[in-house]
Amino acid sequence: MAAKPRPVYLDLPKIRLPIPGIVSILHRVSGVLLFITLPILLGLLAASLERESVFESYLHFISNPIVKLGLIVLLWALLHHACAGTRFLFLDAHKGLELKTARLTAKLVLVCSLTLTVVIGALLW
């Protein structure tokens, strides 16, 4: 009777993903982050529109640098999700499927989302 082969141990931190794989995972992470925080942000917006005192407390709350950093992370999530989503729409239409083009567009998504985050974040800070 032959012994069953043992499962293969995958050391995930040592596996090197290609750039399109990283963009795909970041797209999913940004989508989850937006899905979780959107109801909270909409609740804060609705409450701040009801009374001026709530709006003043909201302004005081977002003046904290840690909160601002969190909002910049959410800004990155929104911009990355939009850029990567546009890329995936083109891939679904069978545009840019060649390896060289897929790598180039993945790099463009990363560069565009980070650049837009820095520019918009600097303007809003």
pLDDT digits (tens, 9 = 90+) for 64-85: 999 999 999 999 999 999 999 9
44-62 confidence digits (pLDDT tens): 999 999 999 999 999 999 9
Q: Tokens in use for 65?
A: 């640098």
Taking residue 106's Cβ as centre, other Cβ atoms within 10 Å add up to 21
Q: Is the pLDDT of residue 9 over 90?
A: no
Q: How far is CA 45 from CA 19, 53, 58, 70, in A?
A: 36, 13, 9, 16
Per-residue model confidence (pLDDT) at position 29: 97
